[in-house]
Amino acid sequence: MRFVFSRRFYILLAIGVFPLSLSWSFPILTNIVLVADVLLLVTALADHLISRLLPEGLTLKREIDGRLAIGEISTVLLRIENTSDRRLHLRLKDEVPANIEVLDPRETEIALAAQQTAEFSYRVRPNARGKYEFGKTAVRHLSRLGLVWCQAELADPMTAKAYPNMRRAREMELKALGARSFLAIQRRSLRRGEGREFESMRDYVRGDELRHISWTATARRNRLTTRQYQIERDQTVMIALDAGRLMTGRIDDETKFDTAVHASLALMSASARAGDNCGLIVFGRRIIRYLPPRRGIEHIDSVLEAMHDVEPSMVEPSYARAFQFIASNTKKRAFVVVLTDVIDKDSSKDLISSLKLLRPRHLPLVATIGDRDLNAAVSRPPLDLKEAFIQSAAEEIIHERTSALRTVESLGGLALDVTTQSLAPKLLESYLRVKERGLL
């Protein structure tokens, strides 16, 4: 049914009930009420036929304030305009995606005068990346006689993309680096006396390292002269993000993959502030996404666009294919950050054997994202046989991970075994340590 009866219709219908109370004394009243009710129903149907179409001057547009991001509240604005010459009484109900959290009522009632515009808004919050389909807006308008609400639809369906939360990534950066964040990274990049990139000459000061003395400049100036260095800029950071089976695990209502995505964005932001170029590769059995190393706002926007709909899948990742791709497409020495997880001999063996494709040209850092519940499981004595078996399995997984990471370090790489909470801080600390020690 494309219409519903209005309050006025039911009031008129109820008025006809009163004469029925006198029908015992006046039987003719029963026939009169019946005829009146039939006339009322026929009039309502005719009112619907006359008023069923929306006025041509009624338009509705849907807008979203900014862009959707995981965990961020956004406002959906409905702007309705009446350019017709009649007053309209409207009821609106917007069709929202089933998998988005709606924080406010998404329906309203508006009395819209001729040549008038009205607005209605409600707030939503997406809890996952991806595409969200908004349908048409259901509109009920009161008929000319006010007996029925005629139903129609306005506004075209709209697809909105939900992106990773860049503000969350920057908060990770700020929290991890503390007082060293923002301009502090740039100051570290320009700090004299460290690094490998020549900056300038100055007079020797007691405490300067002898290896920094320029003997040719000393002979020319007839006094001790020291070379000043700064931490190198325009270096390359490459993030390899595993989208395989183990990254589908959920911790605190979020997959390990989503945690790694936001940690990657935090590292990209920090590297851009330090003057470095950062690239991204997402891989499973094949290369899913690749963004070459760059920096700047446009590059961050490209990463957000590329990552809005990438999801991990139940496949084993091919480290060899990913590392071979990096080696073939990254000629300049790079700091390659591998965000993954390993729990058994086979996966760690594949990872370790594939690292040879990156060494010695590049410096790899393998960060395995563990489960904090795994560590908690072995931190207390078992209470029964079941817990004893669980602890035994957990200890075996932890041993395999530790053994794999030690092997990575023996091959000349760096290794981190972190939880989802400590991933971003440890990652940024490792990056700054690599920069300060001039390992690139």
Assess contact for 266 and 170: CB atoms under 8 A.
yes
Handedness of CA 269, 273, 279, 284 (dihedral sign): negative
pLDDT beneath 70: ranges in the chain? 1, 20-26, 178-200, 207, 228-233, 343-347, 372-378
Asked if residue 400 lies in contact with residue 342, where contact means CB atoms within 8 angstroms, the answer is yes
Q: Which residues of 416-435 are buried (b: 16+ CB within 10 A; e: fewer)?
A: bbbbbebbbbbbbebbbebb
Helix segments in 16-113, DSSP class H: 28-51
Backbone angles phi, psi at 146, to 5 degrees: 75, 20
Q: Where are the alpha helices (DSSP H) in 276-419?
A: 297-307, 319-329, 345-354, 372-377, 385-410
The domain 166-188+233-437 is placed in CATH, from the list 3.40.50.410, 3.20.20.70, 2.60.40.1510, 3.40.47.10, at: 3.40.50.410
Sequence letter at residue 243? A
Separation of alpha carbons 261 and 289, rounded Å: 13
Q: Is 436 helix (H, G, I), strand (E, B) or coil?
A: helix
Which ranges in the chain are annotated with CATH 2.60.40.10?
Answer: 63-139+153-163
Nearest by Cα to 336 from 347, 325, 349, 348: 325
Task: Provide CATH code, domain 63-139+153-163.
Answer: 2.60.40.10
Q: In what order do the strands lie in the sheet with 148-154?
A: 3-5, 148-154, 137-142, 88-93, 107-112
3-class DSSP state for residue 407?
helix
pLDDT at residue 20, rounded to an integer: 67
Give the burial string for 304-318 (b: 16+ CB within 10 Å, else e): beebbebebeeeebb
Contact in structure between 62 and 155 (CB atoms under 8 Å) = yes
Contact (Cβ atoms closer than 8 angstroms) between residue 131 and residue 309: yes
Domain ranges in the chain with CATH number 3.40.50.410: 166-188+233-437
Total residues found in the chain within this entry: 440
